[in-house]
């Protein structure tokens, strides 16, 4: 099985590039990538899910797909990112579906699960916990405050692009910690050399508001996968996640794996995801 081909899927005025894999009659699973990555980040996870009989859809999200790249920061408000997920599901003919998200994709997934849980069969969040748990730690935990200090840079229009693009993307490449395949690093660096792509991706940070801290609890059956080697998310955030899930919940802690779980530990992540999909 390959996961290389991108198909266009139109939602309103936007057209998203979507990778698809697995049997046509398989239960649908949507995979949401994070920053600074694309749907390519799921290339080792998706085949495992597909071989297990699931139909996998992995979009390049708003700001990443060239034809889904509006220019106003307000266009990247969380409500629009969530509407993209639901719109993609509608365009693909999915009534209910399983949702898996990593990093920013997990953040969007939590909001989908909290406000549109009737559309989800299950939810698997990778690296990023429930946003209320994260924000509680951000207010009171010095470790999480230090880990989140990079966000200030990401929100500076123009400055971030300058810093991450300098020296042929040296600092951007360093974010991957040497933990993901070199071919993926090369693909991402090439992708983000397009200024509009980098600015579109960074607009997610610039559009976020404090309202995310008040996200309601989630009743959807949920698995949260986190590693103790994550440089962005600390233990206080991760362990508080369970307090914000009222439905069936599983916390999977990985050891000595970085933030880039889908690419560094795809088999382990796929197993944890399949446990939730089948549960």
DSSP secondary structure of 93-112? T-SSEEEEEETHHHHHHHHH
* CATH code assigned to 6-278: 3.40.50.1820
Of 260, 242, 244, nearest to 252 by C-alpha is: 242
pTM, to two decimals: 0.98
Q: What are the DSSP E strand ranges found in the chain?
A: 6-11, 14-21, 28-32, 55-59, 97-102, 120-126, 222-227, 249-254
Contacts of 152 (CB under 8 A, 6+ apart): none
Structure-block tokens of residue 72:
């106003």
18 close to 55: Cβ distance less than 8 angstroms: no
| C-alpha to C-alpha distance for 9 and 19, rounded to whole angstroms | 10
Structure-block tokens of residue 276:
């939730």
pLDDT tens per residue across all 279 residues of the chain:
468 889 999 999 999 999 999 999 999 999 999 999 999 999 999 999 999 999 999 999 999 999 999 999 999 999 999 999 999 999 999 999 999 999 999 999 999 999 999 999 999 999 999 999 999 999 999 999 999 999 999 999 999 999 999 999 999 999 999 999 999 999 999 999 999 999 999 999 999 998 888 999 999 999 999 999 999 999 999 999 999 999 999 999 999 999 999 999 999 999 999 999 998
């Amino acid at each position: 099985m390959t996961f290389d081909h991108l198909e266009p899927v139109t939602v309103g005025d936007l057209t998203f590039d979507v990778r698809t894999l697995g049997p046509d009659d398989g239960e649908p699973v949507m995979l949401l990538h994070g920053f600074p990555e694309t749907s390519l980040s799921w290339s080792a996870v998706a085949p495992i899910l597909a071989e297990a009989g699931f139909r996998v859809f992995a979009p390049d999200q708003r700001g990443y797909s060239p034809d889904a790249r509006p220019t106003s920061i307000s266009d990247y408000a969380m409500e629009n990112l969530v509407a993209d997920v639901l719109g993609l599901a509608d365009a693909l003919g999915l009534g209910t579906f399983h949702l898996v998200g990593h990093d920013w994709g997990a953040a969007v997934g939590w909001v989908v699960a909290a406000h549109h849980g009737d559309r989800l069969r299950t939810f698997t969040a990778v690296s990023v916990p429930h946003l209320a748990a994260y924000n509680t730690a951000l207010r009171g935990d010095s470790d999480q405050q230090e880990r989140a200090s990079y966000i200030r840079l990401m929100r500076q229009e123009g400055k971030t692009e300058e810093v991450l693009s300098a020296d042929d993307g040296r600092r951007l490449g360093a974010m991957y910690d040497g933990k993901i395949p070199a071919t993926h690093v090369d693909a991402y660096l090439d992708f983000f050399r397009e200024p509009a792509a980098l600015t579109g991706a960074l607009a997610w940070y610039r559009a976020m508001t404090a309202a995310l801290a008040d996200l309601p609890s989630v009743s959807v059956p949920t698995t949260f996968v986190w590693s103790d080697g994550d440089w962005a998310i600390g233990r206080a955030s991760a362990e508080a996640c369970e307090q914000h899930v009222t439905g069936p919940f599983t916390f999977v802690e990985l050891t000595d794996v970085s933030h880039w779980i889908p690419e560094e530990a795809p088999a382990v992540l796929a197993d944890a995801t399949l446990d939730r999909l089948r549960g």
